[in-house]
Amino acid sequence: MRFSGDPTVFGNLPLDATCEEAVVESLHNRKYNGYCPSVGIKEARQAVADYVSTPTSQVEAEDVILTSGCSHGLEMLISCLADPGQNILLPRPGFSLYKTIAVSLGIRVKFYDLLPERSWEIDLQQLESLIDDSTAAIVVCNPSNPCGSVFSEEHMRDILTTVARHSLPLIADEIYEHFVFSGFKYHSFASLSEDVPILASGGLTKRFLIPGWRMGWIVVNDRHDALSEVRIGLQKLSTRILGPNTLVQGALPRILRDTPDSFYRQTIDYIEENAQEFYRTFRELPGLHPVMPQGAMYMMVGIDMDSYPEFHSDVDFTERLVTEESVFCLPATCFEYPNFFRVVLTVPKEKVTEACQRMRNFCEHHFQPTTVRNGNGCAIQAGIALNGSYSAEELQTVPGK
């Protein structure tokens, strides 16, 4: 039972018919078989501009560069903004691609912490302490992979105030834009700032459930002409691989304009129900501390390692879980955050129920009660993050929690 970040794996979350029809139309049109401008065709760029613009952040086609998935956008942004020897600030836990790209380019990385006890908000004081003269940009991811968190407007404004103090550009990974559970609201970073230059990267991958179509974009939200040189740099970088395939560019305006809201809602409701089932189960399992997500497709679960003395690490724990129960979860060491694992929420409901049962077997089999667990800090750290499940004091007294 493999829980991968690709929502198409099990076939339970089909794409909307609009996407298929738009590509068929684009194919039959015969206008989209050739090369196109390296930054993308004008109509498709304008469609993205219309899609991401808000009353407080208006962009036009010339502010958009189409990319081969969001990964390509991130690669272009990091290459363009930082020189070898400079540093960029990355979230911890965070999507591992940021580090992979930066390190391969000789760019140094520094990690700022996300706080589980505050639903994975950024520790802004610690972030600010990392900024130095060689800092070139700050990367933020909202909604988050791997945390499933969605920042509140207030927290986003605090982030932007902090970034503005240092006149740095923000790289906003918004590939999970609008992917928020009921009761939460999505804001783009660009919609909340008039001063911070924001380079947002998004795409069709997650919200439209078509990662294989490799359609992403960069949106340049310039402020006070701070990004004129960056625009030139991005334009030059786009010529290296000539962006995403033309056929999907031809389909993009229709996809973005006509996909019905009911499709988005159905997908999110499905994932939220899975999140609730996993959360209910993990809360009951001894030595596990789930942090209820607010959006995206993931949940992080803390492991009280003192309660599982057989295992040396989250890697060890998840390896044994897959060996004994065939349930694969990613150890959060992959996200620079040991003693947690990440669960993917897009799997079919019957597999969620089965996985919950197998994880129950696994935990009940390996758990060893201890009276006071504060050895690695995980239990206490995760416990206060549980949106009302256990306080730090309770964690010390409730057997198995």
Ligand X SMILES: Cc1ncc(COP(=O)(O)O)c(C=O)c1O
Q: Which residues here bind ligand X, judged by CB under 6 A?
A: 5, 69-71, 95, 141, 145, 173, 175, 203, 205, 211, 216
Question: If you compute the radius of gyration of the chain from its CA atoms, what whole number of angstroms results?
Answer: 22
Is residue 229 exposed (0-12), middle (13-18) or buried (19+ Cβ within 10 Å)? exposed
Distance CA 314, CA 113 (A): 19
CB of 299 to ligand X, least distance (A): 14
**Distance of alpha carbon 399 from the chain centroid:** 34
Distance CA 319, CA 287 (A): 17
Closest CA to 116 of 340, 282, 252, 291: 291
Closest CA to 167 of 227, 123, 77: 227
CB of 320 to ligand X, least distance (A): 26
Distances (CA, A) of 98 to 102, 108, 202, 263, 395: 6, 11, 14, 30, 34
Strands 135-141 and 121-122: unpaired
CB of 52 to ligand X, least distance (A): 15
Distance CA 137, CA 86 (A): 9
| For ligand X, the closer CB: 69 or 116 | 69
Distance CA 199, CA 91 (A): 16
CB of 131 to ligand X, least distance (A): 22
| For ligand X, the closer CB: 71 or 274 | 71
CB of 129 to ligand X, least distance (A): 25
| For ligand X, the closer CB: 57 or 71 | 71
| For ligand X, the closer CB: 342 or 401 | 342
CB of 219 to ligand X, least distance (A): 14
Distance CA 209, CA 227 (A): 32
CB of 146 to ligand X, least distance (A): 8
| For ligand X, the closer CB: 93 or 250 | 93
CB of 132 to ligand X, least distance (A): 26
| For ligand X, the closer CB: 44 or 380 | 44
| For ligand X, the closer CB: 203 or 290 | 203
CB of 376 to ligand X, least distance (A): 27
Q: At what angle do helices 261-284 and 349-366 cross, to 10 degrees?
A: 20
Distance CA 248, CA 22 (A): 8
Three-class SS of residue 300?
A: strand
Is residue 105 exposed (0-12), middle (13-18) or buried (19+ Cβ within 10 Å)? middle
**Distance of alpha carbon 91 from the chain centroid:** 10
Strands 198-203 and 170-173: parallel
| For ligand X, the closer CB: 69 or 290 | 69
CB of 70 to ligand X, least distance (A): 4
The residue number with the shortest CB distance to ligand X is: 69
Task: Please tell me whether the peptide bond between 146 and the residue prior to it is cis, using omega within 30 degrees of 0.
Answer: yes
| For ligand X, the closer CB: 274 or 389 | 274
Calculate ∠ Cα 243-248-253, nearest 5°: 105
